[in-house]
Amino acid sequence: MTWAALVLAAVLAVSCVVAVALPFLREPDPESDELHELDADEQRRLGLLEDRDRALAALKELEFDHRTGKISDEDYRRLVGPLRREVADALRDLEPRTAVASPDAEPAAESRPVD
């Protein structure tokens, strides 16, 4: 009786190990591990996201250097403006374009009448 119990326990243990390991031993489906090519819009958006991230990182580093005293107030004032404009441009480029302008928006400077 004890030999039968040991054999049954061994078979049960081996079957549990095989059941757990089987998903890791199978080959993945060919279509599941294939990357698709980005189209032009996706590549443009990816480039804009990278530009935004670079600009934000540069601004963060500049502000950190200013707080720690590595950069003087004068240099900070000279460098922060262009970096903020770069961040604003990157964020503006990422905004989705809409054909209809909101009614609260002010008209552009070019369309205002000159007195």
Closest CA to 76 of 85, 63, 87, 61: 63
Q: Residue type for 99, please?
A: A
| Residue 104 pLDDT > 70 | no
Over residues 11-39, the pLDDT tens digits come to 999 999 999 988 888 876 666 556 678 88
What does pTM read for this prediction? Answer: 0.53
Look at residue 63 in the predicted model and tell me its pLDDT: 94
Look at residue 82 in the predicted model and tell me its pLDDT: 92
Over residues 68-88, the pLDDT tens digits come to 999 999 999 999 999 999 989
| Residue 99 pLDDT > 60 | no
Look at residue 42 in the predicted model and tell me its pLDDT: 87
Rounded to whole angstroms, the Cα distance separating 65 from 23 reads 50
User: What is the total residue count of the chain?
Assistant: 115
Average pLDDT over residues 59-66: 94
